[in-house]
């Protein structure tokens, strides 16, 4: 299915609602707006196989652009709205984008971007850019003559280095309404359909919010889009719009759980039947607390922008296998040691998917090769194990591993312990330089109240860790930060934290 199909049948049905304002875009409007976008792309010389870039925050026009590109056979690159001008320029050059659309809210950065040969459009006044709204208003609202299915080309968040574009081929079936794997999984795993009211609280430039929102629109449901995540506003949106399905990351859960109990209890969440979460491992106590609060409506999956495979687990299965991210539902799981040899049940190693989707990292054959197993399997770089029942458990990313005194330490387990402390709002665990041990475990903590940062809280958190973790895993240093460099999608820019420690002193406040 496709929004254009629903526009012909249910033209007035809401395709999109902006959560904070109530602004609504119907399927008929979305169809006309995306048609105009497609015509403008053709008018500017873009043909099937070309690339555009979108540098916007969460605005309704985002869907005009992605659906316009999708029905024009284009690759559409969604650039994170928090990037600097040089970072935007890097993605433009690397992706080969021929057209960029930005917005007035990002004008301070966009005006500094050297567009080169790329055509620039903006929603509102931005120096050096043409006005998108006036240009697209002059275009026809009927389909272009040469419609052909396009696809996203998303860049990694760059948590361990420069972001890399994940490129897959244009769909073999050129029909814009042809089904895809995600649409089939949405129906099979979560029963999403035309009656679904789906809350999307995260930035659309990230793979999960973008792809799942577009999937709901393919199915004829309604997407409720938050401009920015706020824990209480998210609960209010569920009640106001009678949300039936939603998409989250663990940091959203943590922030909602730390609301005052009276605030949490003030919102009616009874319409919510499906709460999907992914992007990072969810600490076991956090997920237990969410199931206790929302009921057995949590559904977790493990996958990446690369689309090479997917595991899934519902609440009852998770309660029987706490900490698991499920069994493979797309692709086949393999766990291998560093020699590439497949490991047995409960042995920890690098996770691969076989028989799933194929991908390459754009302009980076070395990184593409690193992600390939000799048998053709592919990895996202995560470490984990598979139990005897076929359930996958994630340990951490291989690149985040700390080697202290020859012992491999994965930060995720330590972070999962610290985040459950009532006085911790956020935490990152990294390896810092140590003359004796090679690396030492450092926890960078964002307290709920920054005025409490200091030696007393550090000692309390050290004791909190020692109660459940071995001595080698207990942080040897706890520092405090008013805010961590966290991607809006929930991922930490650990590279930025590591850089501070490998080139700076051991200051207690970072």
Geometric angle at alpha carbon 210, from 208 and 212, rounded to 5°? 60
pLDDT for the residue numbered 509: 42
The domain limits of the chain are 26-177, 401-501
pLDDT tens by residue, 444-468: 999 999 999 999 999 999 999 999 8
CB 345 within 8 A of CB 319: no
Enter the DSSP assignment of 509.
Answer: B
Low-confidence ranges of the chain (pLDDT < 50): 159-160, 504-510
Count CB neighbours of 49 within 10 A: 12
CATH architecture of 26-177: 3-Layer(aba) Sandwich (3.40)
pLDDT value of residue 499: 79
Q: Does the domain at residues 401-501 carry the CATH identifier 3.30.300.30?
A: yes
pLDDT at 334: 96
Q: What is the pLDDT of residue 480?
A: 96
Q: What is the pLDDT of residue 507?
A: 38
HEC profile of 296-346: CCEEEEECCCCCCCEEEECHHHHHHCCCEEEEEEECEEEEECCCCCECCCC
CA dist., res. 114 & res. 87, Å (int): 11
What does the pLDDT read at residue 492?
72
Element (H, E) at 291: helix 284-294
Contacts of 369 (CB under 8 A, 6+ apart): none
Question: How far is it, in rounded angstroms, from Cα 489 to Cα 20?
Answer: 19
Give the pLDDT of residue 158: 52
Residues linked to residue 444 through DSSP beta bridges, in sequence order: 428, 479
Q: What confidence score (pLDDT) does residue 406 get?
A: 67
């Amino acid at each position: 299915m496709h929004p254009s199909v629903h526009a012909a049948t249910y033209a007035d049905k809401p395709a999109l609602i902006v959560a904070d304002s109530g602004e609504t875009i119907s399927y008929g409007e979305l169809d006309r707006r995306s048609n105009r976008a497609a015509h403008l792309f053709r008018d500017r010389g873009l043909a099937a196989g070309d690339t555009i870039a979108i540098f916007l925050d969460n605005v309704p026009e985002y869907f005009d652009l992605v659906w316009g590109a999708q029905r024009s056979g284009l690759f559409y690159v969604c650039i994170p709205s928090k990037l600097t001008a040089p970072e935007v320029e890097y993605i433009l050059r690397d992706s080969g984008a021929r057209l960029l659309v930005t917005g007035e809210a990002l004008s301070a950065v966009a005006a500094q971007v050297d567009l080169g040969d790329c055509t620039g459009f903006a929603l509102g006044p931005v120096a050096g850019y043409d006005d998108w709204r006036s240009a697209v208003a002059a275009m026809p609202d009927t389909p272009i003559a040469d419609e052909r299915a396009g696809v996203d080309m998303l860049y990694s968040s760059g948590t361990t280095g420069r972001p890399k574009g994940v490129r897959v081929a244009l769909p073999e079936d050129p029909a814009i309404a042809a089904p895809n794997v995600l649409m089939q999984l949405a129906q099979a795993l979560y029963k999403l359909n035309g009656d679904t009211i789906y809350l999307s609280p995260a930035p659309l430039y990230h793979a999960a919010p973008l792809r799942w929102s577009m999937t709901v629109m393919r199915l004829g449901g309604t997407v409720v889009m938050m401009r920015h995540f706020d824990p209480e506003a998210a609960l209010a949106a569920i009640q106001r719009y009678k949300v039936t399905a939603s998409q989250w990351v663990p940091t959203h859960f943590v922030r909602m759980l730390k609301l005052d109990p009276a605030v949490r209890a003030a919102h009616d969440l009874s319409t919510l039947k499906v709460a999907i979460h992914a992007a990072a491992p969810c600490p076991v106590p956090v997920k237990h607390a969410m199931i206790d609060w929302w009921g057995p409506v949590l559904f977790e999956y493990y996958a990446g922008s690369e689309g090479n495979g997917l595991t899934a687990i519902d609440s009852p299965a998770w309660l029987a296998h706490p900490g698991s991210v499920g069994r493979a539902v797309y692709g086949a799981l393999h766990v291998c040691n560093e020699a590439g040899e497949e490991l047995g049940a409960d042995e920890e190693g690098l996770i691969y998917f076989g028989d799933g989707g194929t991908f390459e990292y754009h302009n980076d054959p070395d990184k593409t090769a690193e992600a390939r197993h000799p048998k053709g399997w592919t990895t996202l770089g995560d470490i984990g194990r598979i139990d005897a029942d076929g359930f996958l458990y994630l340990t951490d990313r291989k690149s985040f591993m700390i080697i202290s005194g020859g012992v491999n330490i994965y930060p995720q387990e330590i972070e999962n312990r610290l985040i459950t402390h009532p006085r911790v709002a956020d935490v990152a665990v990294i390896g810092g330089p140590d003359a004796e041990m090679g690396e030492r475990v450092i926890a960078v903590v964002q307290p709920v109240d920054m005025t409490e940062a200091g030696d007393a809280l550090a000692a309390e958190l050290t004791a909190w860790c020692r109660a459940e973790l071995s001595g080698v895993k207990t942080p040897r240093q706890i520092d405090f930060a008013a805010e961590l460099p966290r991607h809006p999608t929930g991922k930490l820019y650990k590279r930025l934290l590591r850089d501070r420690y490998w080139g700076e002193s051991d200051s207690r406040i970072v």
